[in-house]
């Protein structure tokens, strides 16, 4: 075979028919197209159920669509926009009582700028912990994790307390929000 500079033909680098990727094979076969159509319909149905207003129908279908929504990342609530947006700003803070009587504070990491995009999971996790007693089973593991972080920093934790720091947003024309309030909602003793 000659090189292009010698004026000869250039070898065709196109993949052979047997080298087709899975997407191409699925799109060419009738069964593949049917499978793709089913996946699209399931995803669209999941999006519809996730975004439905609270109703008997939504509650009936949620047990089927919730696992799909969680895996694909469609499990986001849009109530922040309408019809009744959330009016309370909340922050999670862990306070660790050390064995020597001092207290250390572990706020949920909040990044600014571009770091917000890859660290937002902490805010979502804190929001999940703060959203009521349905998430009570997550409180102790999080508190123990905080104790482990505190130990790794060279401290000797005795008690971890989770605190909800919140403020209610007010309508325009007056103060932007109510004063910040703190509410300790969970404590656990952590052994050595």
Residues 8 and 80 in one domain: yes
Q: What is the pTM of this model?
A: 0.56
Residues 47 and 74 in one domain: yes
Residues 58 and 30 in one domain: yes
Q: Of 85, 101, 124, which residue constitutes the final position of a domain?
A: 85
- Domain tally for the chain? 2
Q: Of 85, 105, 124, which residue constitutes the final position of a domain?
A: 85
| pLDDT tens profile 56-106 | 888 889 888 888 888 887 776 665 666 667 788 888 999 999 999 999 999
Residues 185 and 96 in one domain: yes
Residues 99 and 179 in one domain: yes
Residues 13 and 93 in one domain: no
Whether 4 shows a pLDDT value over 50: the answer reads: no
| pLDDT tens profile 8-62 | 444 455 555 555 788 888 888 999 899 999 999 999 999 888 888 878 888 889 8
Instruction: Tell me what the mean pLDDT of segment 106-114 comes to.
Output: 78
- Contacting residues for 130 by C-beta, under 8 A, at least 6 apart: 90, 92, 164
Using CB atoms within 10 Å of the CB of residue 5, give its burial: 0 to 12 exposed, 13 to 18 middle, 19+ buried: exposed
Residues 11 and 33 in one domain: yes
Predicted confidence band of residue 160 (pLDDT cuts 50, 70, 90):
very high
Residues 97 and 177 in one domain: yes
d(CA 179, CA 168): 8
Residues 110 and 154 in one domain: yes
Q: Which domain holds residue 128?
A: 88-189
Which helix (H) or strand (E) covers residue 189, if one does? strand 181-189
Please, are residues 103 and 116 in contact by the beta-carbon 8 Å criterion?
no
Q: Of 85, 114, 130, which residue constitutes the final position of a domain?
A: 85
Residues 78 and 62 in one domain: yes
Planar angle of CA 86, 136, 94, nearest 5 degrees = 80
Q: How far, CA to CA in Å, does 115 sit from each of 81, 107, 112?
A: 24, 17, 6
């Amino acid at each position: 075979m000659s090189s292009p500079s010698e004026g000869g033909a250039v070898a065709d680098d196109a993949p052979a028919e047997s080298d087709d990727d899975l997407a191409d094979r699925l799109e060419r076969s009738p069964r593949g197209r049917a499978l793709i159509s089913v996946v699209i319909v399931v995803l669209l149905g999941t999006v519809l159920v996730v975004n439905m207003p609270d109703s008997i129908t939504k509650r009936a279908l949620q047990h089927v669509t919730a696992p799909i929504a969680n895996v694909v990342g469609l499990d986001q609530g849009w109530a922040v926009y309408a019809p009744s947006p959330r009016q309370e700003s909340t922050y999670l803070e862990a306070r660790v009582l050390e064995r020597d009587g001092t207290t250390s504070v572990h706020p949920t990491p909040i990044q600014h700028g571009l770091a917000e995009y890859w660290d937002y999971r902490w805010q979502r996790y804190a929001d999940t912990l703060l959203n009521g007693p349905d998430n009570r089973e997550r409180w102790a593991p999080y508190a123990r994790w905080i104790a482990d972080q505190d130990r790794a920093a060279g401290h000797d934790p005795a008690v971890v307390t989770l605190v909800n720091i919140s403020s209610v947003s007010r309508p325009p024309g007056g103060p932007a929000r109510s004063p910040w309030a703190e509410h300790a909602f969970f404590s656990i003793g952590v052994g050595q």
